[in-house]
Amino acid sequence: MQTQQFSGKFIVLEGTDGSGISTQSALLKRYIENKHGKKVLLAKEPSEGPIGTLIRQVLTHRVQGIREESLTLMFAADRMDHLQHKIIPALEQGALVICDRYVWSSFAYQGIKIDEQWILETNKYALKPDLTIFVKVRPQVSMERIRQNRFQIDVFEQEVILKEVMANYIKIKEAWGSQGENILELDGEDTVENIADRISKKVDSLLINK
């Protein structure tokens, strides 16, 4: 991934479906705005752009016949489009960007069937985050939460698949952590309040030491 310096900070939350990262992203946005008075962009992958919209249709079976290789490229293309049109402009203006899923998700999900080196190559121009927050939840707990809270379940939301996804997340966390990536790993089965408190303290440190 590419390293660039901006006046803003880029924070990514990663975890399986049902890990609670969307909730934590929203809580972090409110915390930063209230405590630090900073402008915050809350982003999400797939994005709301044209490529991201198509990806959502594939994941919910509304579009059929897309092979895994093509879907991997679509995620990478959506990521670059999102960076160029939303994330980087916000960082240049000094905003803090919180992204619900990013490059790790491609390794975790598409990595079940696609070679990891190929995923790395398709994402080599992606922007490196200032902080990646990894919320770890057991697959059976993830599925229980999904069944309780979702009307529609996408193609990756099956326990056997989530076990492979979590194994890939752990693999990429260990590999990139050993290369110096700034990572905060959290127990996603802790209370929402405790998780939010640990995230806010880490982000406080990031903003103070910028």
pLDDT recorded at residue 205: 96
Whole-angstrom distance, CA of residue 107 vs CA of residue 170: 10
* 80 touches 126 (CB < 8 A): yes
* 142 touches 19 (CB < 8 A): yes
* Mean pLDDT, the chain cut into blocks of 10 residues (210 residues total): 91 94 97 96 97 93 89 97 98 98 96 94 96 95 80 58 93 94 97 98 90
- Extents of the domains making up the chain: 9-208
CA dihedral 3, 32, 135, 110 (to 10 degrees): -50
pLDDT recorded at residue 155: 44
Cβ-in-10-Å burial (0-12, 13-18, 19+) of 13 comes to buried
Q: What is the CATH code for 9-208?
A: 3.40.50.300
pLDDT recorded at residue 3: 86
